[in-house]
Amino acid sequence: MSVPTLSRRIFPWIVLLPSAYATGVMAAARDPSAEAFVDTTARRLIEVLADPGLSPAAKSAAFRSAIDTLADVPRVTSFVLGKYARLLTPDQKRRFALAFRGYVEHVYRARLSDYGGERISVVGSIVRKPGDVIVATQISGGQLRQAVPVSWRVLRSPQGWRLVDVQFRGVWLAITQQQDFVSTIDNAGGDAEPLIRQLQGEAAPASSKR
């Protein structure tokens, strides 16, 4: 059985047990501090989303500042450029970083308004190597009929754990984004400008187009 299947079958039951027991059975290689980080992060973000007193604009702003502290944004921005990360000029990198940021926030803006009370719970973790952990969580409740497993890859940095990728239905999103961006630049003959323009177009302000 693969890890996601294992998680889906067995971990939900472990969640019911006292957390002290969780270190016994399946957890030969878990990292409690990484799990705690994801748990805390999830709680913070849900607090923001569920707060009825905040306007959508305020929620977006709160989300944006949360992302900066919780995710390793420079690393992810560099990663999604793949082999082109060092081939862009500093000016292009700056504009790309802004366009990518805007593009990601545009995607979140649509999702934030969807929030219907879903909850995230940490169900386990896998240590790929020390300082590189995949935390497995489940998102359930709200509008979901079935719990959805989502995994988070976190790397330890001097400032603490930082999020670098998300896995949904077996697909790592930053890796997929890298494939998308690199092939776009490849098809433009190595020119990153069309990609930057596309990302800026996607994140056209005040538009809920997807």
Partner 1 sequence: MSKMNQGGLEVGAGLVVLALSGAFLAYGLEAAGPAGSSRGYDLTAKFGEAGSLAPGAAVSVAGVKVGTVAQITLDPKTYMAVARLSINPNVKLPADSTAKITSDSLLGGAHVSIAPGAAMDDIKPGSEIDNTQGAVDIFGLIGSAIRPQAPAATPAPSTSTPAESD
Interface with partner 1 in residues 172-201 (CB under 8 A): 172-173, 175-179, 182
Question: ∠ CA(170), CA(199), CA(190), 5° rounding?
Answer: 90
Q: In a 10 Å sphere around its CB, with 0-12 CB exposed, 13-18 middle and 19+ buried, how is residue 52 labelled?
A: exposed
Q: Which long-range contacts (CB under 8 A, 24 or more apart) does 20-25 make?
A: 22/124
Q: Which of 74, 142, 194, 201 is close enough to bind partner 1 by CB under 8 A? A: 142
> What is the DSSP code string of 133-164?
EEEEEEEESTT-SS-EEEEEEEEEETTEEEEE
Would you report the helix, strand and coil content of the chain in percent, each value rounded to 5? 55, 20, 25
Q: Kindly state the smallest distance separating residue 55's Cβ from partner 1, in Å.
A: 15
Q: Kindly state the smallest distance separating residue 162's Cβ from partner 1, in Å.
A: 15
Q: Which of 123, 150, 154, 192 is close enough to bind partner 1 by CB under 8 A? A: 150
Report residue 169: phi and psi, to 5°. 55, 40
Q: Kindly state the smallest distance separating residue 168's Cβ from partner 1, in Å.
A: 6
Interface with partner 1 in residues 112-131 (CB under 8 A): 113-116, 118, 120, 126-129
Nearer to partner 1, 79 or 200 (CB): 79
Tell me which residues touch partner 1 (CB under 8 A).
Answer: 1-4, 6, 28-29, 49, 78-79, 81-87, 104, 107-108, 110-111, 113-116, 118, 120, 126-129, 132, 134, 139, 142-146, 148, 150-151, 166-173, 175-179, 182, 208, 210
